[in-house]
Amino acid sequence: MWTRIVSLAAIAAFTLPGEAAFAQQPGSSRCSHAAAGTVWAQVDWLRLQTSGGRIALSSTRCGQARVVVEPTADNPLRQTLSVDSQPGTFLVSYEAADEHSTITLDLDERQQVTVRQRPTAADAAELRYFQPVTGPVQLTIGADQRQTYAAASLWHLLLSEPAASEHLVPVLDRIRPNWRLAEQVAAARAALAASAETVVCAQRRQWQDWVEQLSDPSYARRSEADRALRAAGQSVLAHLRRLDPATLDLEQRRRIRAILTAIADSGPDSPERIAAWLADDKQVWLALMRHGDASEQQAAARHLSKICGKPVAIDPAASDDQREQQMIELKALLAEN
């Protein structure tokens, strides 16, 4: 059996425990018309999930396949899925169409994920979500007057930008209804609020010191930092995935890719896992102060006070202009810490 899993945060191969596999000879093809329901319910050899803050796909088959699900009264979408899973190559093309719009999800030869929604009505807004292998994800809404949002991961995007959550979640839920992403986002927000004031900044600074040490002129020092990051285990993954590749040299990028491959957990994300990753992310807490409910705003204020070492207050009765000025001042304060 040949098992190929692509975790789009860190292109790596794993074996999924407990998954049944069906092997095909490389180069073979298969086309079928599945019964009613979603493609993902019919195709048990292909998994679509969120892992490490990214959309991730995995396959337990080697070969080519094409599956079509015809629309029904319960699910009006006509769905088509094409997969080419060969050693060293994993391509996926999915389309779901009805009278209102066409939604596509593609995993290309560079292992980049693109999700698009193209409405039938000319005055409806288009949507494009783009996820590179590493680095920020991007969401573009509209065609002529575009709104573009960028974030470190899918969860950063959904937690920090209400417009992104409003427009992107329904599209992703149409692709995979059992994701229930809105519930996951709400649960992650609650878990973050519950974790307020538990700051792990010292640990993050140590991780960043090791990342910088990966480019040390001394081979021994580079190896020492490499071993330390690996020993940190799963907890260091989110920090490494948030790094901007443009700020790293070739040696750092090479070693970080190898570390991610070695210790990455391909399991699906959970609200508790998301909250643990984002506990020290200043931009996420700022977003909770700006867009959260009263309890989330108070929790964010307490947490940011801990990060800054200075009191951070919030006035629920303040005007929009006053709140905006407070956000500007708070961003400047956080930039100093």
Count CA atoms within 13 Å of residue 333 on its CB side: 18
Count of helices and strands (H, E) across the chain: 12, 12
Q: Which amino acid is at 113?
A: V
- Are 235 and 265 in contact, with CB atoms under 8 Å apart? no
Running DSSP on this structure, what letter comes out for residue 268?
P
- Are 304 and 312 in contact, with CB atoms under 8 Å apart? yes
Which stretches of the chain score pLDDT less than 50?
1-29, 34-35
Q: Which residues pair with 51 in a beta bridge?
A: 54
Q: Which residues pair with 49 in a beta bridge?
A: 56
Contacts 24+ apart (CB under 8 A), 325-332: 327/286, 327/289, 327/290, 330/286, 330/289, 330/304, 331/286
How far apart (Å, rounded) are the C-alpha atoms in residues 91 and 110?
Answer: 9
Rg (CA), the chain: 22
pLDDT digits (tens, 9 = 90+) for 66-82: 999 988 887 788 999 99
Q: What are phi and psi of 112, to 5 degrees?
A: -95, 140
Closest of 75, 11, 90 to residue 38, by C-alpha: 75
- Are 112 and 132 in contact, with CB atoms under 8 Å apart? yes
> What 3-state class would DSSP assign to 53?
coil
How far apart (Å, rounded) are the C-alpha atoms in residues 146 and 140?
Answer: 6
Phi-psi region of 253 (alpha: psi -120 to 50; beta: other; left: phi over 0): alpha
- DSSP string computed for 87-139: TTEEEEEEEEE-SSEEEEEEE-TT--EEEEEEESSTTSPPEEEEE-SSS-EEE
How far apart (Å, rounded) are the C-alpha atoms in residues 176 and 270?
Answer: 16
The Cα angle at residue 35 between residues 34 and 38, in degrees rounded to 5 = 80
Q: Which residues contact 219 (CB under 8 A, 6 or more apart)?
A: none
User: What is the pLDDT at residue 237?
Assistant: 78
Q: What is the pTM of this model?
A: 0.72
User: What is the pLDDT at residue 3?
Assistant: 31
